[in-house]
Amino acid sequence: MQEETDKQLTDAQKKAAAFLTRQGVRFAPAWYAAREAEEEKRKAEETARKEKEMAAAVAWAKAGDVMPDGTVYLGLYKGKDWFVTAGGAKDGDGKNLTMDFNSAAAYAQNLKAHGHDDWIVPPHGGASKEPDILLEMFNNKSKGAFKDTYDEGDSLDSGIYWSSSLASGDPGYARVQGFGDTYQHWTHHKDDTERVSLRCVRAVPHP
């Protein structure tokens, strides 16, 4: 009977029924509400399966290992497991996309990659309580899946990467890291002509 009812409903009618169900309208088809509940249950079970799979992978992971979701494991720092995108921000030609500080922050905030939307610009640490993740990215740049995925040239823009950390004495300056050498310094981030590279990270409390 339900299959026959399904056939009688157009796509528009199905969308309308779903909308009415979400609004709590009582005359929305009960069977459609049950179908939505079943779909939500399926999504929750899939999320739980992926989280379990990730937890198992993290237990044995080392810097440079590719995780089940496609991210690259960086390490455990101050009670959190840190993960890096498979590659840095790129332009339409596949080259490093350089951007100013505010654009980098917006890029990370809006990024949806590897099934996640909680990406951030790597912290430098310093006066904050966060670990120096940008430096750890530099220290592990040649390990596993990280190898050859950073711009390690001597360019003063694409070869340098943003951190999210501001100078405690002058918040007009942000920390950056050169990946072609050990060059790490503060740059005046309020000048939108200062454009360098970005590689986003995310952190998850260690299980």
Mean model confidence pLDDT for the chain: 82
> Has this prediction a pTM greater than 0.95?
no
Domain chopping of the chain, boundaries: 2-58, 72-205
- Mean pLDDT, to the nearest integer, of 124-141? 84
Q: Domain 72-205: state its class.
A: alpha beta
pLDDT single digits (tens) 28-37 = 556 666 777 7
- Max mean pLDDT among 55-59, 90-94, 176-180 falls in 176-180
Look at residue 107 and tell me whether its pLDDT is greater than 70: yes
Residue range 101-119: mean pLDDT, rounded: 94
Q: Give the number of other Cβ atoms within 10 Å of residue 35's Cβ.
A: 17
